[in-house]
Structure 1
Amino acid sequence: MPPKKDNKKEVKIHLFHIQLVLSEDDGTGILKNIVQFKIQFQVVTQNIQNIVIMFEWLNANSTERYDTGLIDQWNVVSSEPQQNLDDPPIVTYSFEKVFDQLRFIDSLAEVLSKKKLYMYFVNADDMKVMQEFWFDYSLMLNTPNFEFAFSKMRIMEILDFKFNIQSDKPLLHEQLRAKLNPFQVEIVSCENIPVQAQKSYELCYVQYEFYDGTVIKTDMQVQMQNMYFNSKHVFLLGTMDIAKHFETRPIKFELHDKDEIVRNDVKEELQLFDIEKWLQIEEEKNRPPEPDFTVDPKTGKKIPKKEVKKDDKKEVKKEVKKDAKKDNKKKEVKLGEPILEEQPKKQYNRNNHGVAIMNLGAFIHSNVREVDLLAGIVPRRVFEDTESNNLDLNTTARKNIPKVFTATNYLDLQATMFVKFEMSNALIRK
């Protein structure tokens, strides 16, 4: 066996090496986590031209815009000819990009937890967005892989679309996970929902607001008696005083299955007839045209008015052309916000919905990391005013309108909502 003095030296050197590794960071004692992301696209198309995908992803500080180039210039995976030889073949294209290595820190974890990252299909000719998606990448804080597939594209030439993002290692190592404490909320299902086919409603969804003010909304589904959302989102409890919230504030989950289109029954007021304005208009119509000559006061001769010079006309035409070019400028694609041209949106009455209230006080007890809750859905009773917007009624008549309360009969069918909660590290340990 080697002498004891040598053993002590080896131990000292080993401990000193560990201290050096920990001090590579900015003094917080948290180990660096260098990760590398890879994104892969696959598009099944038929006769696609001039379409490019623009997407938003992480950089060293926050997010950055990337593009894939024209889809028809990607790598060709397969090409299937059609029975009719005149029809273009169905071609599968693929694109892959490996990003530079990135140091994953707290601020990037908050970006994935709180921010929606957008992806756009853009026409390269006029830079108009043909379809957009937004993604919740917060699940990558627990699993280093994200996949998405969609086959109902608005772009007729695209038959199927898939993509995935993966990292070479977990984004949160043990120290960073202990500091941020990821908390996953999974809305599993809503059952025994009363279905009403008398009216046309918006698609169903569940929405809730977390303690930090983040509002989460599930994907929309067709109204059915039993709906399975399986919608997950990951929050970072280490960035908030969560124990106090668990004790005092339950979370309200709203089931929007009866959002109706608002009918505009307001009667427009007829404008009063302005006789003076009408006389002015008629007088201008009957006014004789101005003469194209002037009378010399000395001689009394008629002098024709000077015509506009040809050079002036040319200048006017040039100015018009310049303005037209300015108006036809290509629109820039801005990420992080919807950029489709605004269209008149339908207004919905979102007050008639169900609420499931869930208390998370169980997480305050020792060693509790997972809680599954099944809560009844109760109606949110809302005053429905169908007459006060009628301008024919005076103030007194509006006050005397009978109040009608409408609510969905969730209680009759014992409607329920099932939600799973999972915490990375228990708040209290024994």
Structure 2
Amino acid sequence: MRLTAPPRSTSLISLLALPLPLGVLCIAYLIAVARRPEIPESAQIEDPHQWGFPKWYGQQPSPFDFSSTSVGEDEEICDHPKSILLFIDLPYDSPLIPSALTLLHTLQTANRFNVSVISTFSPTWDGQVSIRQNLQGAGCETKDWIWRVGDNSGSSDLGCEKAIWVEEGVGKPGKANVSLLSHPHHLLGKDAGYNAMKAFHGDQWELGLLTSILPAPNSPTIFYPARRVTSRKSVVYFPSRTTSPKDYPRLPWGRIWSIYSPSRRSPPKIRASEDPFSDKSAWKKFWVKEEQKLASTMRDAGVCLFEGWQNGQLDDRIAKAMLSGCIVATVPPKAHHDAFLPLILPLSRPDSVALQPKLPVHDLNHVLSTYTNPQLQRLALKAFMTARNRLVPMSRLKGVEGAVKVWEEGGRGYEFKDGFRWDCEAGEGGWCS
């Protein structure tokens, strides 16, 4: 026999009264949240893993952006802007085109310059006449500067001697008044030696100024970080655009590693009536989309490892990764070594000098094991802050302006910027045994 009690009746008043305390609690919570003090920005910078990234960590200006009284919103009115002819001497499908487009945009947005552009693949280029005649047709004789990017034309008889010549991305430096080499140690290379340049350029050649300026990709409209990353210990390997897929290294098993496959498509051919440097140009849109695809992958990656990591060179790929919030794993660069060593995951230089060494799987895993997730978040933020100050187009432009000023004041020879390091660890230098 089982005894049961009849169910208790629930009054209507108690049912109506139940939501009242819940509502009071919700209102009290919202008031507390609204009145809570904001997290200090210094705390977010010191420990973004705990407190979250600062509001400016993303696609917007930050307090650490490169600033100058002569650029940006504070740019002074320039009554006598310099005239520049940008000569893009590259194939239309060169991997260096994005850098050339960034340079063009930087010059166009600086009101202290009036810039025009000419290239060997533009419809206005006349292949039936010499390069000198094409440049003269573009008004080179009336320009203050001529900035040449690349040397695909192969010509050294360019004329336009009244202008100051700036060159970068050339195979044999030294022809211009100011030669920008991609890495500081190239200033000590055989091709940059005085005797070698004298023999190549001829007896009438005179030494100008050779220097190296930090790289600067398009920033921050394309390369900017995501505020959240799935895993800081996920590694993406980035092969060079010119490397065939059959030569890609074999990745280790697991979900931690992945590879970025750049587009194998060629940019569209430039039409006869099309200005390739117009924003409406299909050719230019192709390169912008390629950069956007690259930036998106970098934003989602925790660690970026580039082909050529063993060389320890600070190039625009590293700059793009830092601007995108991706932590770079590489052999510590010689350029600005002390400044950038704390901003990377340092890898050991391989014992062999193979062109394509094996992926540094064990070395990188060991390095990552020494970092906690909070430390990696802090590393990504500090690398971003440095890049937004030192690896942006306006910063690089100011560096080039400084080099031209040195030349104008009589400076000749080899200009080594601060932070350059040279030792026998890389096996370079005639004095290294």
TM-score where L is the length of structure 1: 0.21
Larger Rg: 1
From the two aligned structures, give the one with the greater helix fraction.
2
The structure whose residues are more often strand, as a share, is 1
TM-score, structure 2 as length reference: 0.21
